[in-house]
Structure 1
Amino acid sequence: MPQEGGAELGISRDQDKGWAWVVLVATVLVQGLTLGFPSCIGVFFKDLQHDFQASNSETSWFPSIMTAVLHAGGPLCSILVERFGCRTTVMLGGLLSGVGMVASSFSKSISQLYVTAGFITGLGACFSFQAGVTVLGSYFIHRRALANALASTGVSMGFTLWPLLSQYLLDEMGWRNTFFMFGGVMLHCCVCGAVMRPVPVKLPAPSLKSGPGHLAEDVHLSNGNALDQQVHLHRSRCDACIQTLQKYLAFDVFCKNKGYRIYTIGVAWMVMGFVLPMIYLVPYAILNGVEERKAALLISITGFINIFMRPMAGLLSGLRVFTGRRIYLFSVAAALNGLSNLICTISAEYSILVLYCVVYSISMSVLGALIFQVLMDVVEMDRFSSALGLFTILESITILIGPPLAGLLVDLTGHFSYVFYTSSFFMVSAALFMGFSFCTMEGKNKLTEAHKPTPEKPSRVKYAEVPTQLGPEKNCSPAVIYVTSM
């Protein structure tokens, strides 16, 4: 009992004040170093393509693997956080990211770059970023929304600074030395992780009648023969595997919750086109005569506008008029984002490309501010963590295959403009699918409700607002949350 009292004192002393703000600054830096990093890959696209004599499709696998692993590593990160804690996981991620970038500077082929900078660096960035978000939720309770909003500015700052730094170092020392330097920069995640000391929390007592350990104990205490013991042990392992899958990947929610199923499929289809401009915009501008530094500035413009627009989009979505309608605001933003890609196909003049970046970044800010809020609206909060795990896994698959397919299209046609047509198709079609599907689903729910007596409980598949804040009496250790770079 004295230990529990000490834990409660630790919570009241550390959370929402004092050292929590130091952790917030560290989280901002981690987000800028990790999620902002893939934005600069387009700067190196032509140099990598030239040095390795690779096609557009082969070269685009490198940023695709990095971004996909960054999204898909969430469940693995959750396991590491539960076993070793957030501080160790963030520092491990920084070490992996640094080693991956240093090793990539010695790559002899594009396939080696897939492993070093793509897989190792992407996995390290995933560990650092998502564990940093998790520890932020431990340090902030009453001001958690404000803390997450401030932390998200790190992504926008990374989008702004990484391309400018990349282009400068590329001009001065080439891509290999630049990647070597980036290895040292990514190691700063270890410094940020070192300040994320764990917060004492009061954890629920483990049940004595659950889990594979108890089942195994029952096996040893039973009086059955050896065959029965093997059967029971096999069943216990299967039960443990099923429980693990339900904990981190909500297949049951995907099958039962129609709103979650529509939204997951729609976003997975959407991101196949969403990531294309960030990879191909700089090569497209350089190919059409734009100076390399001015071309890199285009990505920085997008990130700079995101710094201001993303908090505004979050405030806009919180207005009462959008209560229960955020999915439609999200769909409109996705359609606008897709249609903005057609601006690039009209002309490749620098002023037109700047206009494109402004429109693109505004819609991108709305998507980034709403993507998880909409997911909270369609999934119960007690299953949000596992639902988000499956959500990011499916999302990473389409992120992985989207850029290489677009690169193959460029190789076959010889025109970069087809990349932006493709991006527009995926974005607009996903927006229409989500908007019309939710509209149809709500219409059917209203008809069903009209023919029923007053229901005791709301339908679980109906798109409705779900409370996202716990009451004071329910303050507890937050679940691991997987967050994407959108």
Structure 2
Amino acid sequence: MSQALERTEGGWAWVVLLASMVTQALTLGFPPCIGIFFEDLQRQFQASNSETSWFPSILTAMLHAGGPLCSILVERFGCRVTMMLGGLLACLGLVASSFCQSLWALYVTAGFISGLGMCFSFQSSITVLGLYFSRRRALANALASVGVSLGITLWPLLSRSLLEDLGWRGTFLVFGGVLLHCCVCGAVLRPMPPRAAPQAPAGPLLPPKTPGPGCLVACGRAARRHLAFDVLRENAAYRVYTLGVVWMILGFPLPHVFLVPYAQRHGVSEHKAALLISVIGFSNIFMRPLAGLLGGFRDFARHRKYLFSMAVLLNGLTNLVCVASADFWVLVGYCLVYSVSMSGIGALLFQVLMDLVPTERFSSALGLFTILESISILISPPLAGLLLDTTDNNFSYVFCMSSFFLISGALFMVGGFYALQRKEQQARRAEAEGVRPTAAQEPSLSPTDSKGAKKPPSTEVTCVTSV
């Protein structure tokens, strides 16, 4: 027990925090730099915008969709093994992609395999913080999120430099070695000492009287454990939030993929175009932890879902700047404002989810949430690429498309949450103004048990908000 207390919130916990920060920089910070390779891949494989867009969409979708599988591996093998396995898969995928001769092979290697490996490493780095931090968990998550901002800042600069000297194949080969450092980060995750379990009484082990569950039954139990379809069906607030996020995600990743090609198409040099993504990442270094800490304050906690919706609305309105002008300094200003809304979305996305679902169901609700989110991530860039192909590479339509999904998603969430809040207030008002039941009617509202003691009224209401 003393060993666990020494590690939890102690000196080694900060080493784990540093490893988590580096892992998030290597994994979650990588997809935004893919736009730098967009035109090179398009020329190499003689592909359309839509076909080339499938590569970053598959990579980012797997980074989110592998969450339930990652949680199973963490439960079975622990965070250390899962993170090291993720680093190995991410490395192998990118190294193999440097030898690809077709886009389909690139989808499998750099898209599917590397994306799944990044998911294992990234989500393990989030899970391990909950094991090492309790009182300072909010601070630890805020500091770890700085790694994402560092990755978004440094990956584009490294990509542009290596691309000029080595080409995209040599760059992906080097990136495979860089992502192998996730194994180093996983190696420093010391396993927490197991809790003392009560000893079973001595005696011979009897065989079970009933056969074990079949494969279908086991799969059904695993699905119910990791995918909260019942919460989606019964919790209206979770349903509004999930549908709103899935809709707005159709527009959210598009600037990360198409901003660099858009700037290059309008005469911005390759170095300056890559610098735009770094501007977003550098601003996020300061804005994302600040947004996370502000969202944790008591005065803001009651309105977190509305703050998230306002961040989504600001993100959508900001994208309209790219429709008006493609001047480099205008795009720099766009990136600065975009980073503010992006920080709010990234910092509040899972905090709002925690507010809307019970704590004991958060893990399964998160699993379903990330899978539905990954579907939107998968189809969003190819849909925008198809729009480019049909409009003669007019990027203005892409940013208008992004703004449409973000703005409409934000308005849907604000309207849905407000309607649920009004409905709950009316129910409370009706309950407060109701007539107190007579003695003859009281047992029907307060049922008694077999001993005659009164039980509290039933509270099986699943439509709960944070208001």
Residues 100-111 of structure 1 aligned to structure 2 (within 5 Å): 100-111=93-104
Cα distance in structure 1, aligned partners of 2:13 and 2:371: 31
Query: Deviation per CA, 1:347-394, whole angstroms, max 9, x where unpaired?
Result: 100011111101111000011111111101110111001000000000
Partner of 1:370 in structure 2?
348
1:49 is the counterpart of 2:42: yes
Cα distance in structure 2, aligned partners of 1:305 and 1:334: 17
Partner of 1:218 in structure 2?
209
Cα distance in structure 1, aligned partners of 2:199 and 2:428: 41
Of residues 32-41 and 240-249 in structure 1, the stretch that sits farther from structure 2 once superposed is: 240-249
1:286 is the counterpart of 2:261: no
Partner of 2:398 in structure 1?
419
Question: Contact (CA 8 Å) 1:343, 1:356: kept in 2 or not?
Answer: yes
Partner of 2:357 in structure 1?
379
Cα distance in structure 1, aligned partners of 2:220 and 2:93: 33
Partner of 1:463 in structure 2?
465
Residues 466-481 of structure 1 aligned to structure 2 (within 5 Å): none
Cα distance in structure 2, aligned partners of 1:315 and 1:80: 31
Give the AA of the match of 1:441. Answer: L
- Tell me, what secondary structure is at the counterpart of 1:167? helix
Partner of 1:429 in structure 2?
408
Query: Number of aligned pairs?
Result: 440
Partner of 1:305 in structure 2?
283
Give the AA of the match of 2:240. Answer: I
How far 1:217 moved relative to its partner? Answer: 2.1
Cα distance in structure 2, aligned partners of 1:152 and 1:316: 14
Question: Contact (CA 8 Å) 1:93, 1:128: kept in 2 or not?
Answer: yes
Question: Contact (CA 8 Å) 1:442, 1:462: kept in 2 or not?
Answer: no
Instruction: State the TM-score, normalized to the length of structure 2.
Output: 0.91
Question: Contact (CA 8 Å) 2:238, 2:353: kept in 1 or not?
Answer: yes
How far 1:9 moved relative to its partner? Answer: 2.2
Question: Contact (CA 8 Å) 1:14, 1:20: kept in 2 or not?
Answer: yes
How far 1:206 moved relative to its partner? Answer: 11
How far 1:458 moved relative to its partner? Answer: 8.5
Query: Deviation per CA, 1:302-356, whole angstroms, max 9, x where unpaired?
Result: 0110110112212322333323211111111101100100000101000111111
Of residues 448-457 and 342-351 in structure 1, the stretch that sits farther from structure 2 once superposed is: 448-457
Partner of 2:371 in structure 1?
393
Give the AA of the match of 1:85. Answer: G
How far 1:204 moved relative to its partner? Answer: 6.5
Query: Deviation per CA, 1:452-485, whole angstroms, max 9, x where unpaired?
Result: 25977494313116xxxxxxxxxxxxxxxxxxxx
Question: Contact (CA 8 Å) 1:14, 1:139: kept in 2 or not?
Answer: yes
Structure 1 residues 325, 204: CA separation in 2 closer, same or farther (over 3 Å shift)? farther
Give the AA of the match of 1:396. Answer: S
Partner of 2:311 in structure 1?
333
Cα distance in structure 2, aligned partners of 1:458 and 1:144: 30
Bigger Rg, structure 1 or 2: 2
Percent sequence identity is: 61
Cα distance in structure 2, aligned partners of 1:134 and 1:205: 26
Cα distance in structure 1, aligned partners of 2:49 and 2:197: 53
Give the AA of the match of 2:275. Answer: L
Give the AA of the match of 1:72. Answer: A
1:355 is the counterpart of 2:330: no
1:119 is the counterpart of 2:112: yes
Residues 171-320 of structure 1 aligned to structure 2 (within 5 Å): 171-202=164-195, 217-219=208-210, 237-320=215-298
Correspondent of 2:388 among 410, 423, 435: 410
Instruction: State the TM-score, normalized to the length of structure 1.
Output: 0.87
CA-based RMSD: 2.0
Cα distance in structure 2, aligned partners of 1:203 and 1:272: 47
- Tell me, what secondary structure is at the counterpart of 1:200? coil
Question: Contact (CA 8 Å) 1:267, 1:395: kept in 2 or not?
Answer: yes
